[in-house]
Amino acid sequence: MNARLAVLASGSGTNLQALLDDPVVGPRVALVVSDRRDAGALDRAAASGVKAVHLDPAVHEGRESYDGALEDLLTAEVIDLVCLAGFLRILGPAIVGSFRGRILNVHPSLLPAFPGAHAPRDALAWGAKVTGVTVHVVDEEVDHGPIVLQEPVPIRDDDDADSLHARIKRVEHRVYPRAVRWWLEGRVRIEGRRVLVEGSG
């Protein structure tokens, strides 16, 4: 599938780099958008010859205005799939609706456990023995959409939030490109809350 991908990122862009480094996914990344001017993700995009855009929330009055500008940009760039990679803004229902079934997110827990922005910390505070990584389809609720792929990460007795998150990230960098490849290969079918992947075993 000759799809064009956009990656939305707010931070250093390590998951973006994992996507760029994948031989199937990387050539399809056509656009990187960040809500932060100093995001390392923009530098990684530029270094890879990918169009990098800082879409500044400060010049938009509220989420609807920002989402409208983002949707206009994605449409102008003829984007087929949107990949969230540490994007710290919640996408509103209008843009989710426009890209229904075509927005993926990677989250550092085994959803539905520990949604939100502090999943590794929350898993430790709960005393969980296992957490992990979830790649899911984005819907109108936060960290809620149908699950494409999950992989567990054991929690060690000596873990703190930083050490646990570092191990989770290593798994993210491996599984997120795999899930995106499945989508690009046309192997992903969404049936309600279930995601069926052809040939995944």
The residue to which tokens 């809350």 are assigned: 193
Q: Encode pLDDT of 113-146 as tens digits.
A: 999 999 999 999 999 999 999 999 999 999 999 9
Q: What percent of the chain lies above the pLDDT cut of 70?
A: 99
Q: Encode pLDDT of 38-71 as tens digits.
A: 999 999 999 999 999 999 999 998 889 999 999 9
Domain count for the chain? 1
- pLDDT class for 199, splitting at 50, 70, 90? confident
pTM, two decimals, is 0.95
Tokens representing 3?
A: 């799809």
> How far apart, in whole angstroms, are the C-alpha atoms of residue 172 and residue 17?
11
The pLDDT value given to residue 62: 86
As a dihedral over the C-alpha atoms of residue 109, residue 22, residue 178, residue 77, rounded to 10 degrees, the angle is 90
Which of 187, 191, 181 is closest to 199 using CA atoms? Answer: 187
Q: CB–CB of 19/177 below 8 Å?
A: yes
* Residues contacting 42, CB < 8 A, separation 6+: 13, 32, 34, 52, 53, 54
- What CATH number has the domain bearing residue 29? 3.40.50.170
Domain that holds residue 179: 5-197
Q: CB–CB of 115/139 below 8 Å?
A: no
107 is catalytic: yes
> Per the residue annotation, which of 107, 136, 165, 173 is the catalytic one?
107
